[in-house]
């Protein structure tokens, strides 16, 4: 048990280091990029990236299937079946990668006209679409090996490569934009970094799983059906997720302007960072759930649900409250006064649903790990359709904020009405116990900190970003006090049990 805990802590720790590196780099680079490119060119770059990201739909759930099959087979010592799964995924992904390059070529011709990109930026936009699309195709094909590392719980390796990739990208951005280059140069550098890091990824995966044997042969029908039975619903979920998180920028760019995308994406990027905070913790729960399910450890799955959800909320709620009450101030100090009011308003709207979505991240990973994600696919596809429809309707009536409300309303319905009942049914545990232990107690713990954030923003003006950060540090003891008030018994138990000696997070036997 202690070995398992050590691996869990190490995985979470390295994920956090990778995440922190990514967020800090983006935090420092975003103002630099916006000010060097300008609102319009930055909006065009955001549209290019969002457009290519939509082709993540072509994954069709394959990476999730690879992680699921390799994790389960590796736990059972069935390396031959792991190899068959990896071979099938690689064969399929190589064909899809070729399709991505073809689609990117078409988009490079028609995209600048559909998105109303200014004439002076159309040539650069065409080249950027083609280069970013090629980079995405390369990463897509090599994603099979990333799935292998995740299945083996080699998160430190994955995180280390992610850190290297982040730093390489950042170095290129600073040098290129500092030398007066534009989005075409950024796209070229993106392709170069993708080629280098994916070459390393393949080598690391082969070293981590030396027993794994794979080929480029076409998979047999039986294996293909196994892939399809799992990955089809993952594919639907991925389609819906891409629509929910990436279509907003395209709707803004299509119905308002490329410059407006900058204001929306600045607000949306803060929510993306928040999701990454939780993902860096909860992503390790999918292979863990697969292992528990393969061994028939139902009690461990229920414990994982409570512990994981509680941890996700205790980490994310303070950040969410800080953004809700002080997001506009932070954006003004970070990006400039002109961005604060509108981008801050977007953050507040999106946060309404984002907190509940984050509360269900652990549930989602457990459902994927147990291959119990079919009902989730139906729910999230319905949400994505409603999201896109509402966003288009509302953007015509109330502008950029309408796109945000179009995202929030369907998301609230799914996160509040579907997930708690479904995951508790799968794991055979009372809904009330789950909500009280995992949702409500963490919520109560952060109330004092939230009140302090609200009062600080009203009565203690921050004129510099350093001062803003210092204000957060000053009120952090209230977060600790709230935590101790709600979890004093569990905290005392942890101290007595020598904190970290067992796989428990504030939940005693």
Structure tokens at 105: 């070529």
Burial readout 177-209 (b: 16 or more C-beta within 10 A, e: otherwise): beeebbbbbbbbbbbebbeebbebbeebbeebb
Which range of 23-32, 41-50, 342-351 scores highest in mean pLDDT? It is 342-351
Best-predicted range by mean pLDDT (49-63, 197-211, 365-379): 197-211
What digits encode the pLDDT tens for the residues 99-118? Answer: 999 999 998 888 777 777 88
Entry field: residues in the chain: 509
Per-residue pLDDT of 244-302, as tens digits, reads: 877 888 888 888 887 888 888 888 888 888 888 888 778 778 778 877 887 788 888 89
- pLDDT of residue 439 exceeding 90: yes
Alpha carbons 304 and 310: distance in angstroms, whole number: 10
∠ Cα 165 35 320 (to 5°): 65
| Selection from 154, 131, 133, 146 nearest residue 198 by Cα | 146
470: pLDDT strictly greater than 70: yes
DSSP, collapsed to helix, strand or coil, labels residue 61 as: coil
Helix axes 62-75, 221-255, angle to 10 degrees: 140
Angle of helix 361-369 relative to helix 340-359, nearest 10 degrees, comes to 50
Non-local (6+) Cβ contacts of 285 within 8 A are 304, 308, 362, 365, 366, 369
The region of weakest confidence among 28-32, 339-343, 357-361, 503-507 is 503-507
Q: How far apart are CA 384 and CA 410, in angstroms?
A: 8
- Whether the full predicted model's pTM is greater than 0.85, yes or no, is no
Predicted pLDDT of residue 506:
46
């Amino acid at each position: 048990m202690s070995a398992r805990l050590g691996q869990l802590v190490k995985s979470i720790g390295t994920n956090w280091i990778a995440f922190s590196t990514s967020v800090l780099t983006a935090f420092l680079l975003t103002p630099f990029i916006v000010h060097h490119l300008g609102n319009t060119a930055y909006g065009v770059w955001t549209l290019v990236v969002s457009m290519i990201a939509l082709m993540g739909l072509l994954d069709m759930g394959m990476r999730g299937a690879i992680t699921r099959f390799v994790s389960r087979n590796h736990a059972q010592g069935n390396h031959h079946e792991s190899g068959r799964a990896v071979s099938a995924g690689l064969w399929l992904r190589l064909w899809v990668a070729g399709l991505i390059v073809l689609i990117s070529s078409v988009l490079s011709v028609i995209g600048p006209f559909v998105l109303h990109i200014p004439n002076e930026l159309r040539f650069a936009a065409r080249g950027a679409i083609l280069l970013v699309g090629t980079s995405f195709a390369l990463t897509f094909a090599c994603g099979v090996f990333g799935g292998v590392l995740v299945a083996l719980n080699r998160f430190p390796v994955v995180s280390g490569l992610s850190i290297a990739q982040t730093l390489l990208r950042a170095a290129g951005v600073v040098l290129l934009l500092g030398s007066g280059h534009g989005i075409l140069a950024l796209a070229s550098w993106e392709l170069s970094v993708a080629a280098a890091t994916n070459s390393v990824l393949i080598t690391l995966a082969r070293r981590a799983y030396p027993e794994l044997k794979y080929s480029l042969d076409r998979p047999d029908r039986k294996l293909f059906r196994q892939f399809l039975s799992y990955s089809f619903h993952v594919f639907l979920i991925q389609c819906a997720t891409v629509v929910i998180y990436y279509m907003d920028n395209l709707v803004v760019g299509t119905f308002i302007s490329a410059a407006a995308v900058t204001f929306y994406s600045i607000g949306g990027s803060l929510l993306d960072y928040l999701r990454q905070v939780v993902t860096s913790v909860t992503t390790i729960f999918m292979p863990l759930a697969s292992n528990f399910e393969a061994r028939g450890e139902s009690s461990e799955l229920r414990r994982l649900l409570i512990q994981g959800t509680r941890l996700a909320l205790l980490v994310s709620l303070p950040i969410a409250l800080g953004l809700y009450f002080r997001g506009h101030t932070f954006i003004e100090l970070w990006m400039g006064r002109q961005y604060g009011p509108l981008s801050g308003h977007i953050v507040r709207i999106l946060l309404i649903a984002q907190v509940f979505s984050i509360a269900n991240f652990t549930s989602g990973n457990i459902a994927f790990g147990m291959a119990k994600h079919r009902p989730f696919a139906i729910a999230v596809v319905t949400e994505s359709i409603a999201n896109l429809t509402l966003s288009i309707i509302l953007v015509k009536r109330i502008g950029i904020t309408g796109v945000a409300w179009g995202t929030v309303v369907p998301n609230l319905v799914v996160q509040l009405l579907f997930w708690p009942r479904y995951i508790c049914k799968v794991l055979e545990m009372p809904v009330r116990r789950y909500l009280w232990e995992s949702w409500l107690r963490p919520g109560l713990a952060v109330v004092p900190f939230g009140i302090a954030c609200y009062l600080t923003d009203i009565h203690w003006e921050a004129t510099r970003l350093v001062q803003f950060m210092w204000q957060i540090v000053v009120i952090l003891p209230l977060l600790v006090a709230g935590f101790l008030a709600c979890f004093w018994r569990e905290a005392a138990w942890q101290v007595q049990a020598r904190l970290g000696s067992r796989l428990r997070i504030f939940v005693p036997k």
